[in-house]
Amino acid sequence: MYLNTWTATALALLTTFGAAMAALAPSARSAQVDDLSAFAGEWLYVEDRTEGRPTEEQQPPMSVTFGLRIEKDAVVMERARGREERIPLDGATIEAPATGSTRRSRGAWKDGVLEYEVDYLRESDNAVVGLIRREFRITPDGLLVRVVVGDPAQLDSVALYRHPQDIPLPAPAQATIADLTWLADAWVGTRRTASIEERWTPPLGGAMLGVSRTVKGGSMVAFEYLRIVERDGGLVYVAQPGGHPPTEFVLTELGTTSAVFENPRHDSPQRIVYELSAEGSLSASIGFAKGGRPQRFEFTREDN
């Protein structure tokens, strides 16, 4: 199973940001940068804290994971695939070309909140066609991130992020590999226009071995090596999508014909669930440790 993840700010506000930063003496500005050190490091999505949002609609307001690096008069946001966004704290506005528009960004650090705003100006008439505001605040629980899209707001989301090493690991369930005998078989299914197969060997030697393959248009488009092994009185699910280095998920819940594996310190997925129905079909789902709508796969036995 695959591991797979608007008007501009008022001129008065910009003037306030610029004046505030310009008024800071060098020593005071250095002290603020020191305070910003709490924002540094890698951050991983933990849970959606948007008030009133249904559990199944909960999701991260931005990347599942991102990094923050502190520099003089700026914070650098490190995104996927080596992409970086510089958040200036000296009142400056950074402009960069975007598709059919100009991207403008600016930031501020005040009252313990790191603010970051981006808007897009249409090339033809300089009209604002997109606005995103982000706020980062350190709390006892971790980093609270608020993202507002549009003006007036079309989307307003709040979520908690933590450093991966600060996210508690779940308590493992006691089990032996024989408890998953029901999973052993060749399972096949379809998802949209692709066919998916997942094959599991019977329990033997404290382990089950699995392999998954996805075929689309007559060609293999993805594969994965899988293992479930006994460890410390419980079970560990080990996944290697595309043959990449392994990621481990600990068994946290076990039923007669169901099993839940979790790793809240992984970006995506964080939770893997297998369930065998009374009719003999197998469902597998992957998603976040808390909330959201899991991605679901349905299988039947190959010989059915």
Residues 224-273 have pLDDT tens digits of 999 999 999 999 999 999 999 999 999 999 999 999 999 999 999 999 99
For residue 206, what are the contacts with CB-CB under 8 A and spacing of at least 6? Answer: 176, 177, 229, 230
Residue 199's CATH number: 2.40.128.20
What mean pLDDT do residues 194-204 have? 98
pLDDT band, very low/low/confident/very high, at 132 (cuts 50, 70, 90): very high
Instruction: Return the top range by mean pLDDT from 21-30, 110-119, 148-157, 271-280.
Output: 271-280
In single-letter form, the type of residue at position 30 comes to S
In a domain, 171, yes or no: no
Q: Is 293:286 a contact under the CB 8 Å cutoff?
A: no
- On the question of pLDDT at 22 being above 70, the answer is no
Could you say which of 114, 139, 165 is where a domain stops?
165
Q: Which domain holds residue 143?
A: 11-165
Q: How many domains does the chain have?
A: 2
pLDDT band, very low/low/confident/very high, at 4 (cuts 50, 70, 90): very low
In the chain, what percentage of residues exceed pLDDT 90? 76
- On the question of pLDDT at 13 being above 80, the answer is no
In a domain, 64, yes or no: yes
- On the question of pLDDT at 219 being above 50, the answer is yes
pLDDT for the residue numbered 304: 67
Rounded to whole angstroms, how far apart are CA atoms 31 and 58?
Answer: 37
Let me know whether 95 and 134 are in one domain: yes
Average pLDDT, the chain: 88
pLDDT for the residue numbered 9: 31
pLDDT for the residue numbered 209: 98
Residues 161-180 have pLDDT tens digits of 999 999 999 999 999 999 99
In single-letter form, the type of residue at position 51 comes to E
pLDDT for the residue numbered 80: 87
Could you say which of 131, 165, 199 is where a domain stops?
165
pLDDT band, very low/low/confident/very high, at 91 (cuts 50, 70, 90): confident
pLDDT for the residue numbered 25: 37
In a domain, 170, yes or no: no
pLDDT band, very low/low/confident/very high, at 12 (cuts 50, 70, 90): very low
Kind and range of the H or E run holding 77: strand 74-78
Let me know whether 74 and 207 are in one domain: no
In a domain, 1, yes or no: no
Let me know whether 130 and 206 are in one domain: no
Kind and range of the H or E run holding 135: strand 128-139
pLDDT for the residue numbered 18: 37
What mean pLDDT do residues 206-210 have? 98
